[in-house]
A and B are shown apart, each in its own frame.
Chain A
Amino acid sequence: MLHRITLLAGLGALVLTGSAAAQDAAQRSPWGSTALETPYREDISAAEKVAGLAKVWSEVKFNFANFDQVPELDWDSLFLAFIPQVESTTSTLEYYRTLQRFTAPLEDGHTRVQLPPELADLERGRAPIHTRLTEGRVIVHRVYTDSLPEVAALGIEPGMEVVAVDGVPVKEYVAEHIAPFRGNNTPQGRDRTLYDYALLRGPVGTPVILTLRDRDGAERSVSLPRLRRIPGSWSLVEFEKLEEGIGYLTIRSFAWDQVLAEVDSLFPLIQETDALIIDLRGNGGGNGRIGWPILGYLTDDTLTYQQWFSREYRPIWRAWGEEQQLFLNPPGTWPADSERFYAKPVAVLIRSRTASMAENFCVGFRIMNRGLIIGEATAGSSGTPLFFALPGGGRGQVVTTRGQYPGGEEYIGVGVVPDIEVLPTVEDVWNGRDPVLERATEELRRLTIGAGT
């Protein structure tokens, strides 16, 4: 029995981080100036370029929550070094790519610069396959062939290795075209960004040439289209009853109200199970207003989640030579649901694509002590971004909060570490196996059998 809801076609919905509502609201300059919010032109003026760079420098300098995690970074010196670099750019695109290189050393997934909408198609195109770094190699994990007969005809199979992109060995390609523009909080988050998410991205309509290596070592090249949207549907919530009464609930986002509505509507079915697996391996985050009620169904008590801090800056403290203060918000709580309480054993599945609110969910789950977390460490990137407009129509964002386990243990910059680490192998991919799900099933079966005897 498989239940699924389909909220949005295509994969686009899965890449959200942070709050969707926040995306529309950009911070204004002091006293409401919009002087730096100039519209897109093919090559904005040198003054706009410098002012935009300074805007990024300034907002990061006063608001970024994670400077202590990049202690070697001299942000002021980097700004000085980038001034001539932005001045020498010859297009708005090149300018924005330079800004992206400027923020990458902050090593934070929620702190970055986005291209103006006019340029967004240049990195919006997606190839209809999903790759991951597996055992240190770039492996095809999934091929999307719905309504794409020309892709189906290429005979690409999960398990094949990508050895080159556009004729360049894959790791060289990444080092040149992707890595310099992306900051990540952890090595696993970085591998996710580079190989899961960004590897095959590019201009809509421009194909990408992959050199693939088959199981027997034979190599061949294929040309894949880069599409604005991959046909077919993608479910944000799926529920299935596995054998022996184990429920398998996949939640791929906490960004949409419908996710909560669907979990609510599935709850009677979930309640019939003897154990539950919650799969967050594709969940890039969203909003606590979606995540906390769902986590709350697993307890009949008030649940506790992460604490966080933010910088609290008062000019006079600095003038007096006092230290920068931090505003520390104590661990949050969410009341128990009066109607829904699932009391059976639970396991949560994670990997590096589990990010942001999905990581906060894991922290709350761990505090709750309700079951095992199985899989691979999460991205280690969460927090509230401050958005600000930039000259030429693009936008910057900087993370303003740093979540921590109650008591101060870090998961930002570390990731939520699983209780049981299970790393899929290339062989698993060839065989269509999901060893993480298998391990979770096995652990829960042991518990339910134990409960029954």
Chain B
Amino acid sequence: MIRRYLSISLLLGLFLASRLAAQDSPAPPPDLSDGEKLYGLSYLWQEANYNFAFFDQVPDLDWDSTYRAFIPQVLATESTYEYYRTLMRFVALLEDGHTRVWLSAPTGTYESYPWILTQNVQGQVLVANVGSSLAERIPVHSVIETIDGEPAAEHAVREHGPYTFASTDHDRADRIMAAALSGPPDQAVRIMYVTPDGDRRSVTLDRDRRTREDEWLLPTSATRQRFEIRWLDDDIAYVALNTFSDAGVADDFEAALPELYRAKALVIDIRKNGGGNSGHGYAIASYLTNDSLQTSAWKTPENVAAYKAWGAFNERYSEYNDMNAWRDGGTHGAVAPAEGRRLIVPTVVLQEHGTFSAAEDFLIAIEKIPQITTIGRPTGGSTGQPLSLTLPGGGRANICTKRDTYPDGRDFVGIGIAPDIFVEATVEDVQQGRDPALDRAVELLRNQLSER
């Protein structure tokens, strides 16, 4: 069958964002009519039907049945915020980190938290960072035992679990624990915690992160350098690539090359790299290989209306009728080795749950490089191309339309990329300032160097 494509712009208007949905606005969102509430819910339902790339990863989810069950739930909401919380619960059931709903509103209108950042360490809620004014009372790496009288992890799961967008269980757990102290800005939160010195204390804190000036004690993702370099020993270089959203990270790496050529071994830390543009990671990867690298492959769902109709009675098109037809997008292109001198030495790449998206693409590109070993924990396991939607009341939604895989089609979204060597930090490690993954990396590299 000969086929060609033509574009007819007349049909395009259909796919522009709904005219019913307002623009993002700094003003509080308007109250919504029942019709608008149902419209927004139905819109999310249908857009997921036709666009979501991971239905097979939630095989127990009956999306139609869920939609029907949410109809009375959205009608029962009494505010636009509550409505959006309900939509968040609806979309969170798709269990994908790039598929989400949010309501833009003036900072701190609906939710805030004290000047404390929390993290999940072995199922415990640890203080990861504090505002300087709290630093003495609540030392960093304290373990929060209870929140409002409830065991901290249980509290976090109950309050935040249903609203958390994540592709993997480990990423979901981390996000839930990070949100542990979040809640209504006008309600203080009472915590009981144990300091690293073993003091058990309690305190009631205002959720004033948005309304009180303070400064974080430690660097945050916003203040962290995009690129770090230091020497672990005379001959092992440590490089942190903390983001791929800034092209400068590749420039920094290239600028550091003259220094790095001295290294007999290399540690590349992408544990805090949440992604960005895959190209920046590939540019760096090109210095680590003598061979051309394969990148991740991708596919997107496809609906040909006529095939869908035929599929009801013609086996040949049944995948269209089942809405399980895909268009293969190939890979993201080969990465050629960099011209000039490259950096081919025993190398460890450190990865963590927080390694996401373009940083995961980097890991896939370097998977086959013989001198590289990965150490740490599985990555976040979420990437893709979101379709952006505007909802009634000015909120937004993303639906992930693109399914990235290893070049051979194996999934990593929904699973995470496993390290070659699994190393996990304990609460004790964190409190005592140990970095067991880095320690293991150095040990491995020393062994490799001594075997030469």
| Residues on A facing B (Cβ under 8 Å) | 21-22, 24-36, 46-48, 50-51, 54, 57-58, 61-65, 67-68, 71, 74-77, 79-81, 83-84, 87, 308-320, 323-330, 384-387, 400-401
Distance between B173 CB and nearest chain A CB, rounded to angstroms? 26
Q: Any chain A CB within 8 A of the CB of B210?
A: no
CB <8 Å contact, B305 and A25: no
- 0 or 1 for each of B303-321: is its CB under 8 Å from A? (1 = yes): 1111111111100000001
Contact residues in B for A309 (Cβ distance below 8 Å): 6
The answer for the CA separation of A326 and B4 in the assembled complex, in Å, is: 9
Contact residues in B for A328 (Cβ distance below 8 Å): 3-6
The answer for the CA separation of A326 and B312 in the assembled complex, in Å, is: 21
A84-B34 contact given A28-B322, A32-B322, A315-B387, CB 8 Å threshold: yes
Q: Any chain A CB within 8 A of the CB of B208?
A: no
A76-B20 contact given A65-B305, A68-B11, A324-B11, CB 8 Å threshold: yes
CB <8 Å contact, B12 and A324: yes
Contact residues in A for B402 (Cβ distance below 8 Å): 315-316, 319
Distance between A214 CB and nearest chain B CB, rounded to angstroms? 48
CB <8 Å contact, A327 and B15: no
Distance between B350 CB and nearest chain A CB, rounded to angstroms? 32
Contact residues in A for B187 (Cβ distance below 8 Å): none
A25-B5 contact given A58-B49, A311-B305, CB 8 Å threshold: no
| Residues on B facing A (Cβ under 8 Å) | 1-12, 14-15, 18-20, 34-36, 38-39, 42, 45-46, 49-51, 53, 55-56, 59, 62-65, 67-69, 71-72, 300-313, 321-324, 327, 329, 385-388, 399, 401-402
Contact residues in A for B1 (Cβ distance below 8 Å): 329
The answer for the CA separation of A298 and B322 in the assembled complex, in Å, is: 40
With beta carbons under 8 angstroms apart, the residue of A51, A80, A84, A317 that contacts B71 is: A51
Closest 10 CB pairs of A and B: A315-B401, A35-B65, A25-B312, A68-B10, A310-B306, A400-B305, A58-B46, A54-B42, A386-B309, A315-B51
CB <8 Å contact, A80 and B20: yes
The answer for the CA separation of A311 and B64 in the assembled complex, in Å, is: 24
Closest to B321 in A: A27
Distance between B74 CB and nearest chain A CB, rounded to angstroms? 10
Contact residues in B for A400 (Cβ distance below 8 Å): 305-306, 308-309
Closest to B7 in A: A323
With beta carbons under 8 angstroms apart, the residue of A77, A316, A385 that contacts B20 is: A77
Distance between B19 CB and nearest chain A CB, rounded to angstroms? 7
Would you mind naming 15 contact pairs between A and B with Cβ atoms under 8 Å apart?
A: A22-B313, A27-B312, A51-B42, A58-B46, A76-B20, A80-B20, A310-B306, A310-B307, A312-B5, A316-B300, A316-B329, A325-B6, A325-B7, A384-B309, A401-B306
Contact residues in B for A401 (Cβ distance below 8 Å): 305-306, 309
The answer for the CA separation of A130 and B302 in the assembled complex, in Å, is: 46
Contact residues in B for A65 (Cβ distance below 8 Å): 305
CB <8 Å contact, B19 and A74: yes
CB <8 Å contact, A21 and B313: yes
Contact residues in B for A325 (Cβ distance below 8 Å): 5-7
Contact residues in B for A27 (Cβ distance below 8 Å): 308-309, 311-312, 321
With beta carbons under 8 angstroms apart, the residue of A32, A48, A313 that contacts B50 is: A313
The answer for the CA separation of A75 and B43 in the assembled complex, in Å, is: 12
